[in-house]
Structure formats: C-alpha cells, structure tokens
Chain A
Amino acid sequence: MPENKFIVRIKRQQRPDEAVRWEEYELRYRPHLNIITCLRDIAEHPFTRDGRESTPVSYEANCLEEVCGACAMLINGQPRQACSALVDGLEKPIRLEPLTKFPLIRDLQVDRSQMFESLKRTKCWIPIDGTYDLGEGPRMAPAAQEIGYPLSRCITCGNCLEICPKVNAHTQFVGAAILSQVRLFNMHPTGAMHAAERLEALMGPGGIEDCDNAQNCVKVCPKNIPLTESIAAVNGQVIRHAIKSWLFGLD
C-alpha cells in the first residue's frame, strides 16, 4: 500500500433488519485528518478498496468540535467522538462501528432518544414560575459554580452508557450521564427545592441501585466529567432520602 494511504474498515448495515457487512476503504492521508473527513471522502468516492461501488456511510454529526455529542461511535473499539478522533493517533487499519447499546438506524447511526427520555423521567430541569421578568436569579458562590459547570458540560453523547456493563438488554439502568445531571439540578439553589422528585425517580428499577461501580464511565467521558463522584453523591442523596421517608413517611 502506498505510504500516503491508509485503510478504514466500517461495519455497515443498511437497515436494522438487514445483514451486517464489513467494508474496507483506502483513503488518502493528510495531516490533522479526522474521522469525519474520512467519512466525507468516502461519500465523495463511495468505492470500496476492491473497487466495488457502495453507498455513502450514514452517521450522525453536527458541530464537529466535540460540543454537540452527535458523532459518537466505536473507533477501534472505543466509544468516542468521530470529530475529535484524529487519524494520526489511531492504530491502522481503523475500525468504525456503531454504538451497541442503542437501537441501530443505519451504518454508524443509532437512536439515543432513550437518554433524553431519561432526562425527562428524572425531571432534569429547574422549575421556574414563568419567563416574565422576576428579577435576578439566586446568588451562587464561585466554588459552587466551579462544581456545577463541569457537570453541565455533558453532551449526552452516550459513551458512558456504551461502556457500562450494567446498561444492557436486561436492565433499564439510566446510566452515569443521567445520574450526574440529577446531581447538577439537585445542587442548584432552586433545583434543590425539588430534589426529592428526582431522587424518587432514581429509586426504582433502572435507578441508582443498578450501578455496579465498574467505573468505566469516567474513563470514556470526552468532557472529563467526574461521573463517579456524581454517582457517589447521588447515591448518598438517595440513601438519605430513603431513610428520611422511612422514618418520617415524608421528606
């Protein structure tokens, strides 16, 4: 193979009910190339390495700067964002596969709407009385902001669910991203007023008890969110809430 070429192997599946096939593409190397550009190169010339005409690869992508969360996939077996995965740092041939913990749509594209549903079920928002002018928000110590801000950078990419052994067909575990969001909303001065509702949503099946403390999540988070700290914090809150409810019958 010429020196300025490299190979990308892609797991293709035209529809969820159709057969899986692997395809190999030979691409031209350029410095700073990322996986997104590889996929665009294929779309411009959708011919496999052995010269067979194929179709452009389906995948999700939007911001291309690792802040929207869209382009998560398995790259050499690791869940990560395709935009920030530079060809330079990857072992060749490069292997691309869709995330496995979410329903497949096509090729590298999956349906992650379950995460947004979980955010809904756990009431991950700050209740406000209305958008009319009610004056300033609550004051917040800079130190509190410095805990909250990193949590609020979660891009809902799903990497932490992908890597988690407890997210599988037999559980309904919401996953680390959602637990961390609950921590974020529970620590906000207004959000704290409604913490009990969020904790109760985490007490049933699929909630905090499903976490096995494998601690894989924190290693694949592209935003370095302290997910294990969040899980520990929320676990503490759930236990305290359960004890209080048991002792007093109410919060």
Chain B
Amino acid sequence: MRHPRIIVVGGGLAGLMATIRVAESGVPVELFSIVPVKRSHSVCAQGGINAAKNLKGEGDSTWQHFDDTIYGGDFLANQPLVKGMCEVAPAIIDLLDRMGVMFNRTPEGLLDFRRFGGTLFHRTAFAGATTGQQLLYALDEQVRFFEAEDKVKKYEGWTFLSAVIDDGGICRGICGMDLKTMEIRTFPCDAAIFCTGGNGAIFGRSTNSVVCTGSAQSALFQQGVYYANGEFIQVHPTAIPGEDKCRLMSESARGEGGRVWVPKQAGDKRRGKDIPEGERLYFLEEWYPKYGNLVPRDVATRAIHKVVFEMKMGLPGEPAVYLDVTHIPREVLDRKLEGILEIYEKFVGVDPHVEPMKVFPAMHYTMGGLWVDNANQATNVPGIYAAGECEYQYHGANRLGANSLVSCIYGGMLAGPAAVRYARNVEQGCENTPSSAFDRERVRQQDINDALLNQHTGTENPITIWREMGDVMTENVTVIRYNAALKKTLEKLDELSDRYKKINLQDRTQWSNQTLNFVRELGNMLVLAKAITLGALARNETRGAHYKPEFPSRDDANWLKTTKASYKCGNITLEYEPVDTSLIPLRERKYTAAK
C-alpha cells in the first residue's frame, strides 16, 4: 500500500496536534512553519483551557460547557460540533496532563480549576498564567519525539505561499518559500492541513504575534476556499496599549478576583491606589451583578468603551480603565498570575501588586476563518483541511475565554485523522499529478517575487501602508461599527491596494529578505481586510462581538446565518448558509442575570 503524503502548515497547538495524530497513525508528516514551532503564537495564551471536569463539586457538566459556549457565541455556531468539543474536552485535559503539562494542583494533587468569563463554574485548568506556552511545549515535545523517529520532517523558516491545485480543482501540494534562501519550491501532498492562526496584524496593533497576519488564509481564499464569518473579531477588554503591540492582561486576572473600575469623579488625578473604595465605580459589577467582572469579552469591551467614550470617565489623560489585583494576597498572585504580572511590570515599569493596572481593549481573536464542513475540518477544496483559529466553526459570534486552546486541540485531533482517511482513499495520489500543475504554481509565485524585486520606481513604504490599514481597521471594524464608516474603510482599503502596487521594496537581496516576505503578506492582508469589512457592512444586526448601534438587536429572522465569502478575479461575493441550532433552542443573550 502506498503511504499517503500529508502536509501540515502551522506549528501552533492545532498544527502540532494534527501532526501528532497523523504521525501516530503511521503516516509521515511534513510540517511547515514560519518560526520554529516552539515560538508559535499559542505561547501567548495565558489564562487556561476549559473542560467540564467538575472537580469542584459544582455540578458542572459538558452540557453546561456546551450551553455556555453556544450562548456566549450568540447562537451563531453550528451546535453539534461544539457539543462534540465540550464532550471531549475533559479527555483533552487528561491527555495534556499525561504529556507532562505543569498544571496548577490542589492540595490533593488533582488539577486546579479557576473561573473564567461567560460561565459561573470553575472550569478552566491552568498552568500559572502561561497556559498556552505550557500546552504548546507539551505538544512540541511530542512532535520532537516523532521527529527523532523520522516520522515528522520539519520545515521551520518556510512560509506558505499557495496551494497547488490541479485542473480538476483538487489540492495536490503546496508552494512555499524558504525565508533564508528565498527559494520558492512546491511540495506534493495528498492532503494539506492548515493551522495558521489568527489575523491580528490586519488590525495593526493587536494582542497577536508578528506571524498572525492571516496571509495563508487569504492566499487560500484567493484560490477558492470560502472564508466564513470574517466580520466576527474579538476585542479583548484588558490589554496594555503599546506601540508595537497590545499586550494581553489575561481574563484570569479577573477569574482570580481582579476587579475593573474607574474613579467615580471623572478626571480624578489621584493615583489609583490612593482613591478610597467608596469613590470607585466598579461598573461591570454594578451593571452585571450575576457575572460581574466575568461577563464575556464582547460585553466587557463595550462596557469599557461606554465608560471611556460615552460617559467620559476614563482615566485622566488616556483612554484606559483600572484592572485591580492589589487586594489579592501576594502568595496567590505569585502562584497563579505571575506570568502576566511580570509582563505588566516589565513593559510598563509599575508593580501591579501595589498599583492597579491601566488597561484598554485590543483586537485579540479571529472568530471567523476558513470555511470547513462539520465533522472533518475539510474546506470546500478537496485535500485542504483547516483547524485552530484559522477556521471558523467553534465560537460563533464571540469566543468564550479559555475555549481557544481546547478548540485548537480538538480541531487538530479531528483534522489529522480526517486528512489521513481522505488521503488513503484519494483516487489518484499526488505523484500522478502532472508536473505542469506544480511548475505552473511555482512560476506564478516566482513571478510575484520577481515583479516586486524588479520594481525600481516605487515610492510607497510597506510599513506605512500596513500602519494605515491597521489604524482604519481598528477604528472602524472592531468594537463599534457604523455602515458609513465601513464604506469609508472599503474606500481606504482600495486606496491602499492601489498604493500597494507602487511599493518600493528597499531590500532587493535574495537572502533572508524579510521585507519581501512582509510585502507579500501585506498584499494578502489587504484582501482579507476587505472580506472582513464587507461581511461587517452587510450584517445589519448586533450579534456577539459584531455591534452596530444602528441595528442594536440580534435579528434571527434575517441574520441567523453563516457568512461565506468567496473570491473570483479580484471580486469578493458574500453568500450565506443556515446555522445548525438543532440542540439548544434560541434565547435572548443577556448577562445581567444568570442565563
């Protein structure tokens, strides 16, 4: 029997889990990643991973987890698969524990669980406040074992440019670029699994890592893969604003008792710690007595916006509110939140044990992504699979905190075996694909490089275009969306796309040319930005993270449907498909009371 050939693109949690599952089934894997996989963006996840293990005697159940997830996502997620994820989540935690993740423990030696947003249960397992890092390392180590056994071959320092799609519309390989030698090469495969993360870079400054550009998703979108629910972008309520990025201050700070407040007296110039308890407005606790500081992220973010921009009660001189953990015993902070408090102290230069932290919302997570079918993580192009943040199907209109890690791992667990099944049964292996299909794609990609390298008359700087794109996207396509502003955004994106054609590369060397790679990513970002904005413009309702003051309610009659964007010859069109709500009946989403 021939060995199927599987490629995984992306080495974060989803990609590594998919790799492990494929390798475990005896099929060799080629794993591509821009950065050494151990440096993938999953390291940035802080607070924890959800699973209804019910170890706190609260009567938690996987159904409760499922219900919280669907309700938190404002009923936009297809329900059966979310149910599947919540049911497997406890076993995923056990697996990670067996892999050696240093989860925090109870005195009995069991896993400890903390509370997170959008639930009333202690459901979040955690390893300090660097849970994503710890999980990524555990999977990285397992993959290293398979690498030592010659079952996995890594291509670190390679970027994905495009899929190789034959005349029958079937994926037969990928085209990549070696970021050191700038060599462009095609790699045949029977199935390719994409686990390429979120697209924070489209918004300029986000909580995402540098590699989270959405470039791979955009390239696939331009090759015919649907992009679903692009308009759903999560803005995390608590981040440290920064010029290079916004650094996340995990929801776990609130899960461990952290409180969000502003001075009752607008413009109060006293230092936070000098303002007495009675003169503070704990607005989340006041407005949402049941969930308090642990309302879902979209709700908390809008509340902070309201306090700062409508009520003009932000901290003096800067758009920010306090996130306060100073009342929590130092011993608890050190054991459970050290990782994030250390970030605050290092980057702001203020000790959060003593002074309340100044935070503001920042773009954080991409709920939308590559369209995949329900059970297989398969896209509409045969042979192309997707898992993790780059696909759309687990979080609906808003992701609950600590659900991303579990969805990445679950998606990877499904995608790996599904790709192997497909590859074993594919009628013709990739070795029978005419070499012209590979040559064609390689030449097309080389031509793009050559055009950029040989353009000497350009006047535009790529960083400038990127910063302008980020500014307009953050201003108009994050927390609050007005149709007029969205239309202006589309015009701005068109202007930037025109200017993009006149880019001056500044670096024309053929050796580790990071500018060339960035410019290629930027081109893809501009396309995806447009798909996101078009989706937001069309959806005239408010649902989860998508908030339109002109259409302030959820509109199930017209908008209980998944957006599917497609791309043809430079044009983006939107179509819609129904959402599977067969398990939990629709109900109004409001966090002012228990659900």
Contacts and interface: CB of A to CB of B under 8 A. Distances in A.
B49 to A, nearest CB: 14
Interface string B49-88: 0000000000000000000000000000000000000000
Contact of A128 (B99, B130, B156, B242): B99
A124 B140 CA distance: 10
A64 interface: yes
Contacts of B100: 125-126, 185, 188, 190-191
Contacts of A125: 100, 141-142, 144-145
A44 interface: yes
Interface string A120-131: 100111111011
B36 A113 contact: yes
A127 B91 CA distance: 18
Given A44-B464, A131-B20, A63 B107 contact: no
Given A62-B209, A69-B39, A136-B97, A145 B105 contact: yes
Contacts of A33: 243
A245 interface: no
B44 A63 contact: yes
B296 to A, nearest CB: 23
Contact of B515 (A37, A55, A131, A190): A55
Contacts of B209: 62-64, 68
A137 B38 CA distance: 23
Interface in A58-73: 58-70
A129 to B, nearest CB: 9
A43 B512 contact: no
Interface in A131-158: 131, 133-142, 145-146, 148-149, 152-153, 155-156
Nearest to B464: A44
Given A84-B347, A131-B413, A137 B97 contact: yes
Contacts of B141: 119, 124-126
A67 B515 contact: no
A55 B506 contact: yes
Nearest to A81: B346
A56 B519 CA distance: 12
Given A146-B335, A153-B339, A62 B211 contact: yes
A110 to B, nearest CB: 11
B375 interface: no
Contact of A67 (B130, B147, B413): B130
A119 B144 contact: yes
B102 A152 contact: yes
A120 to B, nearest CB: 5
B248 to A, nearest CB: 8
Contacts of A14: 509, 511
Interface in A164-181: none
B210 A142 contact: no
Contacts of A134: 94-95, 98
A86 interface: yes
A87 B41 CA distance: 25
Interface in A94-117: 105-106, 109, 112-113, 116
B346 A66 contact: yes
Interface in B120-161: 127-128, 130, 133-134, 137-138, 141-142, 144-145, 147-148, 156
Contacts of A145: 102-105
A84 B105 contact: no
A40 B244 contact: yes
Contact of B243 (A30, A56, A146, A188): A30
Interface in B335-357: 335, 339, 343, 346-349
Contacts of B110: 139
Interface in B377-434: 413
Contacts of B211: 62
A32 B144 contact: no
Contact of B511 (A15, A66, A128): A15
A193 B225 CA distance: 47
B290 interface: no
A8 interface: no
- Chain A interface SS verdict (over half): loop
A83 B105 contact: no
Contacts of B329: none
B172 interface: no
Interface residues of B, number: 70
Contact of B128 (A83, A149, A155): A149
Q: What is the interface residue range for chain A against chain B? A: 35 or more
Contacts of B461: 44-45
B180 interface: yes
B245 interface: yes
Contacts of B43: 63, 67-68, 155
B5 interface: no
Contact of B343 (A34, A66, A86, A191): A66
Interface string A11-50: 0001100000000000000101110110010011110000
B194 to A, nearest CB: 19
B515 A56 contact: yes
Contacts of B156: 113
B512 to A, nearest CB: 4
B509 A63 contact: no
B558 interface: no
Considering residues B39, B40, B347, B506, which has the most beta carbons from chain A within 10 angstroms of its beta carbon? B39
Nearest to B17: A131
B21 interface: yes
A149 B127 contact: yes
B453 interface: no
B117 to A, nearest CB: 21
Contact of A62 (B41, B95, B148, B343): B41
A32 B39 contact: no
A49 B572 CA distance: 45
A88 B133 CA distance: 28
Contacts of A146: 335
A141 B347 contact: no
Given A32-B242, A128-B99, A131-B24, A63 B512 contact: no
A116 B346 CA distance: 27
Considering residues B94, B141, B339, which has the most beta carbons from chain A within 10 angstroms of its beta carbon? B141
B507 interface: yes
A70 B40 CA distance: 10
Contacts of B134: 149, 152
B507 to A, nearest CB: 4
Contact of B95 (A109, A127, A133, A188): A133
Contacts of A61: 210
B209 to A, nearest CB: 5
Nearest to A45: B461
Contact of A56 (B97, B343, B506): B506
B514 interface: yes
Nearest to A149: B102
Contact of B210 (A64, A128, A148): A64
Interface of A: 14-15, 30, 32-34, 36-37, 40, 43-46, 53, 55-56, 58-70, 83-84, 86, 88, 105-106, 109, 112-113, 116, 119-120, 123-128, 130-131, 133-142, 145-146, 148-149, 152-153, 155-156, 185, 188, 190-191
Given A32-B242, A34-B347, 6 more contacts: A14-B509, A33-B243, A44-B463, A68-B43, A145-B102, A145-B104
16 contacts: A44-B467, A61-B210, A62-B35, A63-B43, A63-B209, A63-B210, A66-B346, A67-B343, A68-B39, A106-B511, A125-B141, A127-B145, A138-B97, A142-B109, A149-B127, A155-B133
| Pairs of residues from A and B, 9 with the lowest C-beta to C-beta distance, nearest first | A137-B97, A139-B109, A125-B141, A126-B100, A44-B463, A55-B507, A106-B512, A68-B39, A149-B102
